[in-house]
Amino acid sequence: LYGDLKMHVPFPFSLLCLQVIKCKAAVMWEANKPFSIEEVEVAPPKEHEVRVKIVATGICRSDDHVITGALVMPFPIILGHEAAGVVESVGQGVTAVKPGDKVIPLFVPQCGECQNCLSTKGNLCSKTNLDTSGGLMADGTTRFTCKGKAIHNFLGTSSFSEYTVLHESAVAKIDSAAPLEKVCLIGCGFSTGYGAALQTAKVEPGSTCAVFGLGGVGLSVIIGCKAAGASRIIAVDINSDKFAKAKELGATDCINPKDFNKPIHEVLTEMTAGGVDYSFEVIGRTDTMTAALASCQYNYGVSVVVGVPPAAQKITFDPMLLFTGRSWKGSVFGGWKSKDAVPKLVADYMKKKFVLDPLITHTLHFTKINEGFDLLRTGK
């Protein structure tokens, strides 16, 4: 299509990229309200930016945290950050992708120049706006307008829109044969959980693991623990309906804290004769973060915080939990350097090195997004 336009249109092809696109988007006008499907205007990409047609997007708990105020962002806003799509146009200076390329947006970009990108130890690029509430592009403006009002973006991605604009450091080109409705999960949930086990914790063969929270990310942690060769993977959730799927993906034990009269960390310590080698908190609650830490082996256990911490909350814990030798780590996007890792993860999926289908419980039309969030909140 783009080739034909280039041959037959009697003015420079680049001018076509300068048009504003009108499309549908799910706008969140204020906290604790339903999404409103609106017609929005999406400005063309500026220098080093890419405009993408979103084909598929996942619903993630982090999006819901913004709605409830647990993650503070400015309103009005277009949420969404776990997606896959096709490049529609590019701004000046973009060389990594071209129109027609299949891509996955990256809420953790990879600029390749900052201290964290250059380090072999880090992955949280300095261009990541995970801990800021600006909701704007690098130049301090937004590419979204609705009813004459500027609409903020979310984590530089805003995938709850039929078209979105991203910085080129926040786009990864992927295999053209990849099914976008499946690999969109690699944009957040799967990579976050899978990497927390393989990259952040570095789970070892024969080790014991406990996973707190069995949503899509928690299940992806289980996939990662199994891939690493863990001998025992204990799944923990207050919703026992999730246990069958956890076992299908590799959990050896499933326990519901409501079934016990003692703290869950004591239950896990008894089950494993001293505590697990690795624990993962994949919920985003301070009480389960400390419980996951306490469930680790007291001298060398490693606990990883994967769930987004709630805003304005602090953790109080006995420092002896760390003094005896436990390690407490955090993991954003599974510790992967996004631009490098995402194409490789997609390639691994295409080679059937892991599965994604069991993580997809429902497929809904975009206009049913409020129903999707209801399913999320009810644990379905």
188 is catalytic: yes
Residue 331 φ then ψ, to 5°:
-145, 120
57 CB-contact burial (10 Å; exposed 0-12 / middle 13-18 / buried 19+):
buried
Instruction: Judge residue 23's burial from the number of C-beta atoms within 10 Å of its C-beta, 0-12 exposed, 13-18 middle, 19 or more buried.
Output: middle
Residue from 65, 152, 167, 265 carrying the catalytic annotation: 65
Q: 264-271 vs 286-294: helix axis angle to the nearest 10?
A: 30
Q: Please indicate whether residue 48 is annotated as part of the active site.
A: no
β-strand partners of 103: 85, 173
Dihedral sign computed on CA atoms, order 170, 151, 376, 66: positive
Instruction: Write the DSSP assignment of 146-170 as a string of letters.
Output: ETTEEEEESTTT--SBSEEEEEGGG
Cα 188 to chain center, whole Å? 2
Identify the DSSP state of 56.
E
Instruction: Give the active site residue among 184, 188, 209, 225.
Output: 188
State yes or no: is 225 an active-site residue.
no
**Could you identify the residue written with the tokens 């390639």?**
347
Which has the closest alpha carbon to 149: 78, 45, 91?
78
Q: How far apart are CA 45 and CA 331, in angstroms?
A: 31
Q: What residues are paired with 165 via a beta bridge?
A: 51
CA 154, CA 137: separation in Å to the nearest integer? Answer: 10
Which among 60, 125, 254, 296 is annotated as catalytic?
Answer: 60
d(CA 169, CA 158): 15
What is the phi/psi pair of residue 2, to 5°?
-65, -35
Question: Whose CA is closest to 200, among 303, 107, 119, 301?
Answer: 303
310, 171 contact by CB (below 8 A): no
Q: Answer yes or no: are the C-beta atoms of 356 and 366 closer than 8 Å.
A: no
Q: Is 41 exposed, middle or buried (0-12, 13-18, 19+ CB in 10 A)?
A: middle
Which residues are identified as catalytic? 60, 62, 65, 81, 188
